[in-house]
Structure 1
Amino acid sequence: METFELIAFEMTYQHHTVQLSFTSAELVRVTEYGDRLWYVDINGVADRELLAWFGRSEDIGVELTAVAKSGQTFRGKGYFHPNEPHQAAAVRGDGELSEQ
């Protein structure tokens, strides 16, 4: 399991691109038996309207670009799961996460 502290997070959904403002976020990549699974935990999301929109939406698919504190950039597709009461969210990865 690898963990990356994120300093920037951008996502595109329904032809909208948003640079998400947050207090902390981490990307977790798990490799087991040759398969890779990944997710992002985001805390302190400032955009309450965005969280509310995803809370009401059935289309929660996003494309993301995340920049780690180490300078690595990650791109992938996933599903955005808001946690409105805690001003947080999680992105469950769907498929490959590319690293640059």
Structure 2
Amino acid sequence: MSDQALYQKIGQLLVDAGPSNAREIVVRAELFSEGDGGKYEFDYIDNGGVLDWFTPDGRAVGDLTELLVQLRDYFLINDLTAGKGAWSGCEISLAVDKMKLGIKFNYDE
């Protein structure tokens, strides 16, 4: 699967799992090195500009983990890590109305 397809699936998953009044969704993820899970924080900004958090269902978290592991593997296979090795976590931001996705990757130092 291409990186663009993975980004699209991540964005759609967040729209489906997030609150219906979310204007922006922000996810902070730390993946376990084994790729079998991670730690997550799910926040959103509603249409009124108020910041809050939400808890998606377990299936959505499992699916997100799977997609992030696939994305990390894609980066490794295609040598897109700028020599830093595998990233260990990321911050995902999604502007829901524009379906604009941004991901900032975190690397262990």
Q: Bin the TM-score by the shorter chain.
A: 0.3 to 0.5
Report which of the two has the higher share of strand.
1
TM-score by length of 1: 0.35
Report which of the two has the higher share of helix.
2
- Structure whose alpha-carbon radius of gyration is higher: 2
TM-score by length of 2: 0.33
